[in-house]
Amino acid sequence: MMVDGQNCQVKIDSGACYSVAGTNWMMRGERLKVQAPVQHVEGIGGFLLDVIDVWSFDMVNVYRQVVKLSACVIHGCTDEFLFGVDFLEKHRTTIDFDGCELKYNERDYEVMIPFQTSNDRQDATVATVRLPVEVAVAMRDGENGVFIPARNHGAVSIATTVTTAKNRKILEPAVNDHSGHIRLPSKTVLSSWIPVDDDMEVLPVNNEFQYERVKDWLDELGDGTTPLENEDEVQVGVNYSRTRELVLKVLRTYRNLTKPCGDCPAATTLDVEHHNDTGTAAPIMMKRRRQAQTEEQTVDRNVDTMLNTGVIEESDGASGFPVVLVRKKDGEVWFCVDYRA
């Protein structure tokens, strides 16, 4: 098709609901002040491409006939132009595959758009299964991290990987499930990058986590054979018998973590220290407690219990935090410390 004195290649796509054009076509048409029929279109490979707006175009075929149509300009595509189903239905076109012509009536004359088809397969018969993709990350060179991909990348499958950043980029293995070439959308968040700290140990994949090896390691930790109380009611989230067996061994070995110790809850958390760095500023005077005077005895009783059991320690500093009593619907009272102050 001739557009602005230049020969441009367009395609007829009966599988596209709307006619679409790449961003390079914006300079060849005029923007219409109409609302786009959709906000996104699905590209090759299942990627969602944003619709910028609707443009109108005037084209001239080889018979010097003018073809006018409107198309959605999409972000993430440059040179492509597709005649969609909306154009075919609007003009009630007829596609003649024998003569390789698209025909429709425009007022008092017949418009014919010749096209070419090709059966030559130039693509490789064996698709590349796994290839490295260079991804930009906001990390320093030499920093280790975990690359966690987003949920949907269309026909491209990206795996979670532990790697090292180099020149603010990493190499990520990807699998192309599509038979042809696929371009990943630009300026799109492909994943999350979690840096690996020095206190984190990255374990190599060397078959150390096989069932037999993990079972032997758990047997060395302690008593993993004595059943727990109500062990049949324990839900581990999986139905695989071997996985459930290993999880139960861990719970049996560390059974004391789930036992209540007097007035203290079960020791299922690590020790927590709260540092209040006020610098050289003077303490701010605030109300010590936020409840009615009739509940002072409840607060004092909870404080004495936690002091006696070692949950909290007595302090004589100038800074402190108010306490809050939260009453639940079932009548239970929670003793909370408001650290937001």
pLDDT digits 0-9 by tens, 199-220: 777 777 677 778 888 888 888 8
pLDDT value at residue 13: 83
Crossing angle of helices 241-253 and 211-221, rounded to 10°: 20
Q: Name the residue type at position 195.
A: P
pLDDT value at residue 264: 58
Average pLDDT, the chain: 77
Kindly list the domain boundaries of the chain, sorted by start residue.
2-114, 131-195, 211-258, 293-337
Contact 176, 230 (CB under 8 A): no
Does residue 182 carry a pLDDT above 50? yes
DSSP annotation of 231:
G
Q: How many CB atoms lie within 10 A of CB 268?
A: 9
User: Which segment of 42-51, 79-88, 321-330 scores lowest on mean pLDDT?
Assistant: 42-51
**Chain segment 101-151, per-residue pLDDT in tens:** 888 888 778 888 888 876 555 544 444 445 566 777 777 788 888 888 776
Distance of CA 290 to the CA centre of its chain: 42
Q: Which residue has the higher pLDDT, 78 or 58?
A: 58
pLDDT value at residue 121: 52
φ/ψ of 214, rounded to 5, equals: -65, -40
Give percent of the chain with pLDDT exceeding 70: 75
Please name the residue that has the structure tokens 């260079």: 134
**Chain segment 291-308, per-residue pLDDT in tens:** 677 777 888 888 888 888
Query: Domain 2-114 sits in which CATH superfamily?
Result: Acid Proteases (2.40.70.10)
User: Which segment of 166-175, 242-251, 313-322 scores lowest on mean pLDDT?
Assistant: 313-322
Separation of alpha carbons 74 and 17, rounded Å: 14
Contact 150, 157 (CB under 8 A): no
Average pLDDT, integer, range 221-230: 84
pLDDT value at residue 187: 66
pLDDT value at residue 309: 75
CA angle 232, 237, 243 (to 5 degrees): 80
CA angle 146, 151, 155 (to 5 degrees): 110
pLDDT value at residue 155: 63
φ/ψ of 201, rounded to 5, equals: -100, 125
DSSP annotation of 222:
S
Does residue 54 carry a pLDDT above 80? yes
CA distances to 80, 225, 314 from 26, in Å: 12, 72, 72
For strand 66-74 and strand 20-21, is the pairing parallel, antiparallel, or unpaired?
Answer: parallel
φ/ψ of 41, rounded to 5, equals: -125, 150
b or e along 202-211 (b: 16 or more beta carbons within 10 Å of the residue's beta carbon)?
eeeeeeeeee
DSSP reduced 3-state for 147 = strand
Separation of alpha carbons 126 and 65, rounded Å: 43
When pLDDT is cut at 50, 70 and 90, the band that residue 284 belongs to is: low
Average pLDDT, integer, range 265-270: 54
DSSP reduced 3-state for 156 = strand
φ/ψ of 55, rounded to 5, equals: -120, 150
Does residue 7 carry a pLDDT above 70? yes
Q: How many helices (H) and strands (E) does the chain have?
A: 4, 20
